[in-house]
Structure formats: C-alpha cells, structure tokens
Homo-oligomer: A and B are copies of this chain.
Amino acid sequence: MMAGLRERKKAETRRRIAETALRLFDARGYDAVTVNEIAEAAGVAKVTLFSYFPSKEAIVLDGVGDDLAGVVERRGAGRTPLAALRAHLREVAARPPGEADAGELAGELMARVRVITSSPALLAAVEQANAAERHRLAAALAAARGAGGGADGGAALGAGGDDLVARLMAAQVTAVVGALQEAFFLRLASGTPMEEAGRRLTADVETAFDLLEHGLAAADEHATQQNGDSHEDGR
C-alpha cells in the first residue's frame, strides 16, 4: 500500500486538529473557543487549519450526514426509491454506532453529540447540510421518476409542476431523516444509554416510513380538538 510519510502526517494532523477542537469545545462551549486557540493548541497555524477544514463548523461536523441521493441512484433494479431508502435507513439504524469512521471511539461520538446539540450554530449547520442533501435527493428522485415506468397514471401528478412531486418527496424524506437524527441525538444527549437509543431508533424508522408511505391522515384525525369530537375533514 505504501503509506507514504506525507500522507500519514497529513492524516495525523487532521486527526489532531479535530480531536483538539472537540476537546476544547466540549470543555468550554463551541462559541467560546476561537479558531486561533484551536490552531495553537493543535500546533498548527490558522491558515493551515483552514486548509484542512473549510470552516469552524466543519471541524465538528466532518463526516456527518448520509448520501441519500446515492442510495436512490444505486438502488437495485425493480426497486422503488422509497423502498431503497427504507432499507438503507434500517441498515444505518441497525449498525452499532462508533464504527462510522474507522477508529471512532464511543466517547468521542458522545462528545460530538454533546457539542452539537448544545450549540445553535452547529444545529443550524446540520440543518444546512440536510438542505443540501435534500436538493441532491430531489434531483435523484426526479431522474428516477423521469426514467421510470413511462407515461402512466402517475403523470397526472408529475406532469403539472416542474417536478414538484419529486421535490415534495425529497422534502418529506429528508425531513423525516433529520427528525430521526435529531431524536436520536437528543436522547443520547439526555442520558439515554446508547444501546437503548439504538433500539428506539430502529423502531422509529418503521414508524416514520409508515407515516411517509401511508400519509398523515391516520395520525392526524385522532387529534381533532380539545373538546370537539366530530371530525369533518376540510377537503
């Protein structure tokens, strides 16, 4: 494989920066730590730090997120996008966390969760990443729908907008994935042990996709009002 001293050093420096930053963030809060401090503590110059990570946020969020668009594009023949996504999410939920990026320790992951959940700026950044993923997913879904079975009944919906349906599907799917992430993180941050949280996540995936596939109507109608009981739906 020929490791190559250069690349080894690079990898090590990158790791050192991320680790140092995480430690500082966890100890003193994300906003209270400046990039200068991180750079100094990690033994590099600020400009070098920014050659490894494009922004302060990226130091923490490196590798967070999921390639949903890729899942749709690489799905097996005869498989619907939604089914492929569901299967993928099942896998992700089932996979014991900690092996995300080769040698990630459980403690490090917990620290990351702690730091992220306690910083509005980082939560916003996660939101941003989700939005970006959503756009990619919308494109992938539009392609899948376009190259699909052909001009069948579904065209009644799809023909109208630019590709509104693809966008709506993408929006709902990424929203759901985001909510799952959020729920998982919040549980972890509030003390739920990892194993328990993982089990809950697995169940949540099913709940979420059932809701996605079969609609909100069922979940909605039992919450008509605090006193009224007659439910005339407004359609």
Q: Which residues of A contact B (CB under 8 A)?
A: 75-84, 86-87, 124, 127-128, 131, 141, 144-145, 147-149, 152-154, 157-158, 160-162, 164-165, 167-172, 174-176, 178-179, 182-183, 186-187, 200, 203-204, 207-208, 211-235
Provide the residues of chain B in CB contact with A176, threshold 8 Å: 168, 171-172
Contacts of A221 in B (CB 8 A): 80
In the complex, chain B residues whose CB is within 8 Å of the CB of A162: 183, 186-187
Q: Are B234 and A79 in contact (CB-based, < 8 A)?
A: yes
Asked if A225 meets B77 with Cβ closer than 8 Å, knowing A161-B200, A172-B216, the reply is yes
Q: How many copies does the complex hold?
A: 2
With both chains docked as a complex, state the minimum distance between the C-beta of A55 and any C-beta of chain B, in angstroms: 13
Q: Which single residue of chain B is at the shortest CB-CB distance from A123?
A: B131
Return the chain B residue nearest A72 by Cβ.
B223
Complex alpha-carbon distance, A84 and B179, angstroms: 23
